[in-house]
Amino acid sequence: MGGSGFVRLASVAAALMLALELASMPARAALFDDDEARKRIDALKVRVDQLERSVLQRLDTLEAKSAGLVDVLRDVEQIKADVAKLRGQYEVLSYELEQTQKRQRDLYVDLDTRLRKLESGAGASGDTVSPPGATAAAPPATGKPGDAGAEQRAYDTALEQFKSSNYSAAIASFQSFVKTYPKSPLAPSALYWAGNAQYAQRDFRGAIGTQRQLLSTYPDSQKVPDALLNIASCQADLGEAAPAKRTLEEIISRYPKSEAAEKARQRLAKG
């Protein structure tokens, strides 16, 4: 029952009481004169007014409590809806990020595949092919006739394992490739991708070790700037902010025109 219902009930009760008082007045006229009857009526009205005020106060208190509870329940339902909405947005963003990373990895692998073909062609003709600002690639392999096909297949197998996110197999295949064909123009790339596969597995120390092997064994490879960038990423993920900053600065200083240097500048700018 709402507040207006209680008010009407109180008014009806007051009216009934007043009617009863008035109805009894003719029989008691001998006992009470007009002044006394008027006083009784006034007293009755005071009591009715008091009762009405009391009822109204209680109604106001109940309505205030009920309104507060309704607001709380409404807020809880809104919060639940917001959380559900945010959870859905998070799942969508996580999926989109995963797909973006996969596309970037595939693009990088495709670029590397094209580059190694140029390197292989350059090795076959006795020339070296390097982009502007990059150093010469490692010397070509000097294996027996017919070894080139096996070498290419071994590298392609490892690369396909990396592309399919079979990182453990890719690491083993790339490292085996470097041991089998240490003088291959693809050996620096094999070490680089082995390090990236270790990074994908969050083996940051292992990735740093592999990339440093590339730096020491093939210091003139055009993969060196990218290897340094991967080292900086590992250092950052390990919480080694100062070493990561020094590695980024080294890339910019030694290879200012490389794509890795541009990425290093962007990272330093973000702090």
* Percent of the chain clearing pLDDT 90 (strictly above): 44
So what's the pLDDT on residue 29?
44
Distance CA 174, CA 180 (A): 10
Which candidate, 200, 205, 189, places its Cα nearest to that of 156? 189
So what's the pLDDT on residue 69?
74
What does DSSP assign to residue 222? Answer: T
* Percent of the chain clearing pLDDT 70 (strictly above): 58
CATH number of 130-270: 1.25.40.10
- The three-state secondary structure class of 25 is coil
Distance CA 165, CA 220 (A): 29
159-192: pLDDT as tens digits: 999 999 999 999 999 999 999 999 999 999 999 9
| Mean per-residue pLDDT over the chain, rounded | 75
Whole-prediction pTM value? 0.51
What residue ranges do the domains of the chain occupy? 3-84, 130-270
So what's the pLDDT on residue 119?
57
